[in-house]
Amino acid sequence: MTDLRLLLLSPADNVFVLREAVGEGETLVIDDRAVTLPHRLDRGHKIARRAIAPGEKILKYGAPIGSATAPIAVGEHVHIHNIKSDYTATHVIERKQEEPAQ
């Protein structure tokens, strides 16, 4: 079984989307396997559905949304630290200490 907090948008996808925020140290179940989150993740973030090799396409909505830049394990957070756009680079700003992530 797979955790109800994980949303699979297309059967072809190699990522799930979090329906709700999941706290640090909490456990998610993916295909009967328990994965513990090393840090809190907000609603809408992506979790690997299976192991993904560097260079492999990330599939969401059944469509490629970028490529892996590092090996990604099942249950790992899939985001800008381990995937990149195949079109234009993603721009982020470093968050200031006094403004916590929501």
Partner 1 sequence: MSGQLRGYPRPDGRKGIRNVVAVAYLVECAHHVGREIVAEFRGEAVHLIGFPGCFPNIYAQDMMEKLATHPNVGAVLLLSLGCESFNKYQLSEVVAASGRPVHTLTIQNDGGTRRTIEQGRAWVEEQLVALRRAETVPMALDELVIGTVCGGSDGTSGITGNPAVGRAFDMLVEAGATCIFEETGELIGCEDIMADRAATPELAAELRASVAKAATYYATLGYGSFAPGNADGGLSTIEEKSMGAYAKSGSSQISGIIKPGTLPPKGGLYLMDVVPDGEVRFGFPNISDNAEIVEMMASGCHMTLFVTGRGSVVGSALSPVVKVCANPDTYRKLEDDMDVDAGRILEGRASLDDVGAEILGLIEAVASGEETKSEQLGHREFILTYKSFEPAGPACLPSRG
31 interacts with partner 1 by CB under 8 A:
no
Show contacts with partner 1 in window 67-96 (CB under 8 A): 78-80, 83-93, 95
Q: For the purposes of burial, counting CB atoms within 10 Å of the CB of 52, is it exposed (0-12), middle (13-18) or buried (19 or more)?
A: buried
**Of 30 and 47, which CB lies nearer to partner 1 in the complex structure?**
47
Q: For the purposes of burial, counting CB atoms within 10 Å of the CB of 38, is it exposed (0-12), middle (13-18) or buried (19 or more)?
A: exposed
64 interacts with partner 1 by CB under 8 A:
yes
> Rounded CA gap, 21 and 58, in Å?
21
**Of 30 and 58, which CB lies nearer to partner 1 in the complex structure?**
58
Can you count the helices (H) and strands (E) in the chain?
0, 9
44 interacts with partner 1 by CB under 8 A:
yes
Binding residues for partner 1, per CB under 8 A?
7, 9, 17-21, 42-46, 58, 60-61, 63-66, 78-80, 83-93, 95, 101-102
